[in-house]
Structure 1
């Protein structure tokens, strides 16, 4: 029997936000749109929980109804925001850099220049999980194995094939799919390992460790040096003991930051209120999802190239952040 790990996007985030007042029936400014759409990601990843958590705060503050579109992750979110099929989204900065410069196969040489940064979200660590019975404890052992990497259009789906190639650990097969689907396939031994990149704790990893004995896969010091030299958008880091219940030691990782984005056409005052509603209520957001502990105004500096929306920059400067003019664009 194939066991699926299903984590509802609203189901996990909403209980911690029960104290929110119902959103106003009308936008608080009649010039604002009545509704916005947000691109999130597939079930089992952090975006599926984080998006509705900050969306509820923004909806309460503005009276603008926000709905959520399940996507493959950052790549698709960028495409959809560029086309104005959704107005809000979430991205990792490595994928955003590819989009801005038109690099990476998925961009087909197109430069996505209508996206704007709103606020910093959290760091995305690359790490993996395998059943303890597999004997797999590190990335080097993934050579010749069946490995799941999450949705094709997500950050891990984009970067993990490159990472494993750089490390000389080429799998016999790379599988794409939602985090919950990858976790189910791992339990059924259709995959040897599931490697991913998301805010921690990764919901699908947390579910897996409850249901099975697992090993968490991190990187050696040499692997970290090799990856950060190859991919300057990545930085070395560590996941402390306690990130996962069955984690026995700190995990050595590489990571890249996540930012919320919007289409450049959104009104400045609306974006100001959205940004203020999220960064100004960190305790409430953190109560909904642990990854929000890093959703702080001072982390704006994790973005060095993607222009901030003027409304977002206004709020950041209002709370003392020195966002330079060359990093703001209408």
Structure 2
């Protein structure tokens, strides 16, 4: 008798699990279309920015379920968009141009489906060097250990582009690969001599490094800045004002690029239009998540945009009179 009761009880439990599984599957399918937002490693700015965008989608857009994805950064994001492994991604302007045009590491495998949504923020090149590395000018970086992020990522692309105009090839320095956090720790401990970090002015990571007293910023010379901007329209002249960081008594002359939200031509016009609109309608909420959203403005949306605008984004910008 007891055995029969036990068997019946187990049968009920199994049936409950089956029904529960069906219910979960149905509720999962009703959660909406999944949108993956590619970022970079968790130690940088892309991840919290992407997470904020994903949260906004979940809060403000019915029928979608978004999440931020940690990746190897800009170049990997371009590849993942092209292969359909991401729906949206944050990508720096220079790697984006290379991916779309099939240049440098994208030679022979251009990702022509890439389409722009909006510029999110503008990243000034912070050329960070240890004070004990014997580096006073960029030319002094030859033969030094330089943190360049993940292999083939946006940090490495930008580093080689900047050093290249000074005649420094990748063979002329020791590349140290790793995450953004690895680069930061390497500068603190002396494992690396330098790191070229394209980020927003007043970056907390840069502030942390400068505050150690072991790291400083160096400038580019004006003639090289003008040459680089002329040869690379996705860059512009930039200045890090004096006093931005502790002990920085003089302005630092440099270049700046754009960090852009990107998708592909396969994304529907309605979806991209709604997402673009929601970003600007909820910009104050986004700014509460990360200060770099203070640079996200409709009038600057296409600055540094090195791929065609997606029709959905273009439709929104035409509506608000910026196109």
- TM-score bin (small chain): 0.7 to 0.9
Q: Secondary structure at the match of 2:167?
A: coil
Unaligned runs of 5+ in 1: 1-25, 323-330
Aligned twin of 2:165: 166
Structure 1 305/208 Cα, relative in aligned 2: closer, same or farther at 3 Å? closer
Q: Secondary structure at the match of 1:164?
A: helix
CA RMSD of aligned residues (A): 2.5
Q: Could you tell me the TM-score, scaled by structure 2's length?
A: 0.82
CA drift of 1:313 comes to 1.7
Rounded Cα–Cα distance in structure 2 between residues aligned with 1:249 and 1:280: 38
1:192 paired with 2:175, answer no
CA deviations over 1:16-49 (Å, ceiling 9, x no partner): xxxxxxxxxx99xx8x953211110013322122
Rounded Cα–Cα distance in structure 1 between residues aligned with 2:309 and 2:121: 17
Structure 1 143/107 Cα, relative in aligned 2: closer, same or farther at 3 Å? same
Rounded Cα–Cα distance in structure 2 between residues aligned with 1:239 and 1:287: 24
CA drift of 1:98 comes to 1.4
* 1:1-330 paired onto structure 2 within 5 Å: 33-63=32-62, 64-104=64-104, 106-169=105-168, 171-303=172-304, 305-322=306-323
CA deviations over 1:154-200 (Å, ceiling 9, x no partner): 32211212321321346431212211101111212111111221334
Structure 1 54/127 Cα, relative in aligned 2: closer, same or farther at 3 Å? same
Rounded Cα–Cα distance in structure 2 between residues aligned with 1:278 and 1:243: 28
Rounded Cα–Cα distance in structure 2 between residues aligned with 1:285 and 1:175: 34
More divergent stretch after superposition (243-252 vs 180-189): 243-252
CA drift of 1:305 comes to 5.0
CA drift of 1:101 comes to 1.4
CA contact under 8 A between 1:74 and 1:153: conserved in structure 2?
Answer: no
CA contact under 8 A between 1:54 and 1:285: conserved in structure 2?
Answer: yes
Q: Secondary structure at the match of 1:54?
A: helix
Q: Secondary structure at the match of 1:44?
A: coil
Rounded Cα–Cα distance in structure 2 between residues aligned with 1:305 and 1:222: 24
Rounded Cα–Cα distance in structure 2 between residues aligned with 1:159 and 1:109: 20
CA contact under 8 A between 1:122 and 1:199: conserved in structure 2?
Answer: yes
CA contact under 8 A between 1:44 and 1:203: conserved in structure 2?
Answer: no
Q: Secondary structure at the match of 2:149?
A: coil
Q: Could you tell me the TM-score, scaled by structure 1's length?
A: 0.81
